[in-house]
A and B are shown apart, each in its own frame.
Chain A
Amino acid sequence: MALTTNIHIARWLQLYKKLLLFAISSLLYYTSVGEYLVAAPVSITVQKSTAKQALDYIDSFDFTGSDKVWPNVKHNLFIKNIQKNILHPINIYPGEGTYFCAYSALSYLLLQEDPLGYAKFISSLYKNGKAIFRDVMYEPSDAIKREAGLLKYKGIMDIQPADQMWFLTLADHFKGYLNIFNRKYDLGDESTFWASVNYAKFNRMGKKLLECKIESKGSDFLRPRIKNLYEYIAEKLKKGKVVLYINNRIVHKKNHVKIKLAVPTHFIVIEKISKVNDVITLVYWDNGGCTLIQLSPAFLKRIVYGITSFVNQQADENK
């Protein structure tokens, strides 16, 4: 009897191990993107349209009826907001204490690449409550249409209803495994897992929003295996734009706890990187502006979990 029980236990343990192995490998598969490559015809540094084209489009657009679709979006603030985004993409701001950093990083790149495309999409979304952007239909829920314009105490985002519309719509549309347990928007969800972005989701969004060649390395849990990270980033930067997926808890400390969870939390767009005497100077864009920090190669390696490059295809081909 005891022998049979032991055999049963052993079988269960084997099955349990297999299940665990399967779960871990599935998780790694869904969270990492390895050497993921998506090719598309246009490069990020080749501007598809100009700010002037975008502003002219807004001037001639008929916005009649939009106040019924988005009851809390004030028209004058909406226009001011999109004009500002078109003229100064650098200032696009995801809001204080929200989980919109990934969406804002992609928006910053999109506004540089195709301001007219952005203007057409946001105007149509404002007027009709739904819009198509690069063959994808975005139709935010009624809860989002009600809440856009009402987000408060998020810094300058308080008076930028177009950004509230845009970020809420993107977060409502794109879903990843972090959003499994909170898929429907409720009040305050801009600062919860409803808006979270994992690395695979970020790359998927990049593919849908930007018409360019995307290369990415990294995952949500394991740091990418790159011998010389500085050289790798610098090389990618020569060909186009680079977004890093970093653990911001150790870059911008918020408490004095020594043991911190080693997970990435933030997306930044790299503007410049240089190295003198083993000190790396990094200029990056996030939260509506550029920041300069100096760090060691070891620290850079510690914080980076993902590198996504939006490759200038022409530069790549010329090489």
Chain B
Amino acid sequence: MKTNKKILLPALFIAVMLYSCSPKNISTKYYYQNEKVLDSIEETYKEINSSTPFDVGFTSKDFTIVSLGILTDSLKYIYEFKVGDNRLADTLKKFGLPVKPVIELVKQMQSIRCTWISSYDYYTDEKKQELIFMSIKPVALNAPLSYKKYYILTYFQQPQYFDNDGLLLERRKLKRLRKINGEIFKRINDKVCYTVSTTYR
């Protein structure tokens, strides 16, 4: 009985650790639990980005350092600020970005541990399309041995094609899986997909 206990307890411990580190426990459920705030971040970003292209995220693990990339006609400017730093507002003003909505966006991102938001161009039948790429670092993916740490969401403008397992396809007829940033994405709904990744952008 004693020998059994000696084997059973470490085995149980390892099993619990492995389960807790597995990315399986985070999926579509996370999106639906946080749908309102996630969609609100996406909407705000999309609106501001349409007038002045930019990306924003947190480069520090404790979500205190904001990285801001602003794209102008001639240059892309990359800045880093501490959250609450006045220089952030000054920079936003300088580039014609709406100060209050961007700062609200940053706060919202911080509250839900959203690490990055940006937009990507892609082309369908030679027409330019845009997707919004958002990464989140949920507490559930924070386990010490967990390799994949980021929950990635992609928001498309048009409904996408998926195979029977809900994996994102390049096109309906072409059964090739579509990769974004080297990752395969799964369906949440027709326009929103998710994956779990090692990188946030």
Contact = CB atoms under 8 A, between A and B. Distances in A.
Interface in B123-168: 123, 126, 137, 149-150
A96 B59 contact: no
Interface size class of A (residues with CB under 8 A): 20 to 34
Interface stretch (A103-111, A137-145, A286-294, A305-313): A286-294
B126 A77 contact: yes
Given A96-B120, A191-B182, A289 B200 contact: no
A152 interface: yes
A283 interface: yes
B78 A155 contact: no
B170 interface: yes
A159 interface: yes
A258 B62 CA distance: 12
Interface in A245-296: 252-256, 258, 283, 289-294
Contact of A291 (B78, B121, B181, B182): B78
A290 B126 contact: no
B2 interface: no
A256 B61 CA distance: 6
Nearest to B150: A255
Interface residues of B, number: 30
A158 interface: yes
B76 A292 contact: yes
A63 interface: no
Interface of A: 77, 96-97, 152-153, 155-156, 158-159, 191, 252-256, 258, 283, 289-294
17 contacts: A152-B122, A153-B122, A153-B170, A155-B121, A155-B122, A255-B198, A255-B199, A256-B59, A256-B60, A256-B137, A256-B149, A256-B200, A290-B74, A291-B75, A291-B78, A292-B78, A294-B79
Given A191-B182, A255-B200, A289-B75, 11 more contacts: A152-B123, A153-B179, A155-B120, A159-B123, A253-B67, A254-B200, A255-B198, A258-B61, A290-B74, A291-B75, A292-B77
